[in-house]
Chain A
Amino acid sequence: MEKTVRFRARLSDGIANIKLMIFHEMETGYRKDKNSGEIIPQHFIHTVHVDKNNERVLEVHWSRSVSKNPYLNFMVPGAQTGDTITVTWFDNKGFSGDGSVELK
């Protein structure tokens, strides 16, 4: 299964600094195909669920105004080694994906 989420997680002094990137076109629906001249339909992630040990801690809503291959950085205080951060994303075409990282 293709990995669509990449993490950089750092745990220090009990705070997890989580950086992630989801590889997604985030197509606005305003661009035209160079060859056909047709509008490329919008295709973007609208929702991201962030869970820590299966508990929802952050819900993210995006739009086509978020940059391609969207980046997200957030902080989780009180995190410990062994905690798992899971991210699930959903886009407007009905596709979804996920990824997770175990804190060390």
Chain B
Amino acid sequence: MSLLQSTERREFLRSAFAIVGTLIVTPSHSSDWDQIAYNKTRIVDSIKSVGIDDFSNIVDGSDLIELNTPEIAENGAIVPITIQSQIPQTERIFVFSEKNPQPLVSDYVFSTKVTPYVASRIKMAETSYVHVLVLAEGKFYRTAKEVKVTIGGCGEE
């Protein structure tokens, strides 16, 4: 089934209050790939789409979330980032790159069998903030770091 058909179907079924197995995507806490969230183009909409109605409910997590990013990304196509959440009962980590065409970059659903830690490499379109949201026991925590992105090296195509 194509992703487009999935979206239409989900919209219909949600409005009909019907449940059809794993194809339903509710705005938050579903563990499926959320096509709606991943296609939002503004950072505010991206953040809302992962289940946040009220931004004032987001807790400052800068002391509880270790976010490691470069200061100046050598190449915006491959920016190594590392996230370690110290927040107990971390269920989910969302990663955003504010100025990407679609700011939601990735999300991770953690069971209790893995440490709430992840390292990956992301694409950043331009200098901007990398935002990390951690969902734990129904609360969202946030930290962010600015990463400067330069154009590729000398003589690069």
Task: Tell whether any CB of A sits under 8 Å from a CB of B in the complex.
Answer: yes
Residue ranges of A at the interface with B (Cβ–Cβ < 8 Å) = 15, 28, 30, 46-47, 50, 52, 55-68, 70-78, 92
Closest 9 A/B residue pairs (Cβ): A73-B119, A59-B109, A67-B121, A75-B115, A65-B105, A57-B113, A46-B33, A67-B78, A61-B107
CB pair A67 B111 closer than 8 Å: no
Expressed in whole angstroms, the minimum distance between the Cβ of B19 and any Cβ of chain A is: 20
Decide: A59 near B113, CB < 8 A? Known: A67-B121, A72-B118: no
Q: Are B100 and A73 in contact (CB under 8 A)?
A: no
Chain A interface helix/strand/loop/mixed:
strand
Find out whether the CB atom of A68 lies under 8 angstroms from the CB atom of B77: yes
* A67/B122 contact (C-beta < 8 A), A58-B111, A59-B109, A78-B113 known: yes
Give Cα A62 to B142, complex, Å: 19
> What's the least CB distance linking A67 to chain B, in Å?
4
Interface residues on B, range: 20 to 34
Report yes or no: A62 in contact with B113, Cβ–Cβ below 8 A: no
Q: Are A67 and B119 in contact (CB under 8 A)?
A: no
B33 touches A47 (CB 8 A): yes
Chain B residues closer than 8 Å to A46, beta-carbon distance: 33, 38
Nearest A residue to B118, CB-CB: A74
A72 adjacent to B119 (CB under 8 Å): yes
Q: Does B129 contact A (CB under 8 A)?
A: no
Nearest residue, chain A, Cβ from B31: A59
Q: Are A76 and B122 in contact (CB under 8 A)?
A: no
Evaluate contact between B120 and A58: CB separation under 8 angstroms.
no
Q: Does chain A have a CB within 8 A of B108?
A: yes
